[in-house]
Amino acid sequence: MKSFDAIVIGGGQAGPFLAARMVERGMKVALIERKFLGGTCVNAGCMPTKTLVASARAAYVARNSAVYGVNIPGEIAIDMKVVRARAETVTMNARNGLIGWFAGMDGMTVIYGHARFEDPKTVSVNGETLTAPRIFLNVGARPVIPDLPGINDIDYLTSTSIIHLDTLPRHLAVIGGSYIGLEFAQMYRRFGAEVSVIEHGPKLASREDEDISDAIADVLRSEGIDIHTGVSDIAFARSSDGITVATDSARIDASHVLIATGRKPNTDDLGLDAAGVITDKHGYITVDDRLATNVEGIWALGDCNGHGAFTHTSYNDFEIAAANLLDGADRKVSSRILAYALYIDPPLGRVGMTEKQARASGRKIMISTRPMSRVGRANERGETKGFMKVIADAETKKILGAAILGIEGDEVIHGIIDAMNAGTTYPALQWSVPIHPTVSELIPTLLGDLKPV
């Protein structure tokens, strides 16, 4: 049996950085990863997909260049092999950077293999037994594959496998109208594929307010994406030239099917029962406000704890754990103000409560909206789709939440994220003097238009 000061299971965006901090403190740490360092973000999520999004946008801009007085003769062709290779290069550079970083750390032992608990202080991997007084789980999540008629008879894609395509689908059917599915839908439409989105719920991006969801659908439809919502029945069958997707309202002749119906935590094969670690009905590891499980000496970080399915929330889990365990702090998950983005184009930047959540809270609220068509920078760039929206507490004057669906919305939202984290009231933010011409300069104006509801 090999003894360590700490064992980290999973090489995502929380555990490895915590391991590095502990090594800096002179601890002996084992980092166990069953496949690739970097987790979903580096290998199958943010980095490769946003690289693909960038290639898709380049194609879109080239096709629409005449609007700007730039004429490109001939057809805009897409070389999917180059597109794929570019995304793969970004991933490999990041992954190899982590490998090199950890290889240079005295006290860090990286082990590739599948770890399982033997008891609360012991794990086995590759036939070896390791023990430590502290064990951190950062095992991530994977795509959910629903049990739909005929699904096992077809060769479907997931968000993990689709990034390796080096040919262009004739017609991509996306099953699931949430964030992952919508990004791939627009991306492949811009590459040149026909695209259909099939969603069980009544609207796309069901977490969002109805006006945001409708605007997202308008953006996608404007680019020729076929959207089907409120679909109750879906079945698949092989056809002579691809896959038939049959719903209660349509029949789609697809060449490829992407299953984008959510993700589930990688907790079902860790031997958690042997350690006594509790999970909820969805398989997420139950943690307290400081990320500790019900078993002393075991913590769960990142996607597997159900407190955020984003790279930035996973990294913040690392920051919370490191601050509490190494720096004598008392940081809590409940102090985190959730923010995220949807990377269609234009992107959606979101922070805090939706309007629906704010109304349900019983607070007296104020709301302001502004179409992007009234934003100078958007008009100058010729990108006026979408709108801004902010919700505030009428009594405390604190900002409760905001959504910016529009050009650079994923960047502009940070002005509001920072204000909310600092506890700044909206009247104080109104007095800032932003730079012109920018999209962010409209935040004080947006706040100035807040009205009670």
Q: Cα(393)–Cα(11) distance, rounded to whole angstroms?
A: 40
Which residues 6+ apart lie within 8 Å of 54 measured at CB? none
240, 246, 252, 254 alpha-carbon torsion, rounded to 10° = -50
- DSSP, collapsed to helix, strand or coil, labels residue 447 as helix
- Run of H or E including 39: helix 39-43
Which residues 6+ apart lie within 8 Å of 29 measured at CB? 4, 5, 6, 7, 8, 19, 22, 23, 107, 108, 109
Q: Which of 114, 164, 414, 436 is catalytic?
A: 436
* Structure letter (DSSP) for residue 157: B
Among residues 374, 371, 416, 408, which one has the least CA distance to residue 391?
416
Give yes or no: 228 in active site. no
Peptide bond into 346 cis (omega under 30): yes
Q: Work out the number of other CB atoms within 10 angstroms of the CB of residue 437.
A: 13
Please state, in angstroms and as integers, the Cα–Cα distance from residue 19 to each residue in 9, 121, 144, 327, following that order. 10, 17, 29, 14
Which residues 6+ apart lie within 8 Å of 105 measured at CB? 20, 23
Greatest CA separation for the chain: 70
Annotated active-site positions, please?
436
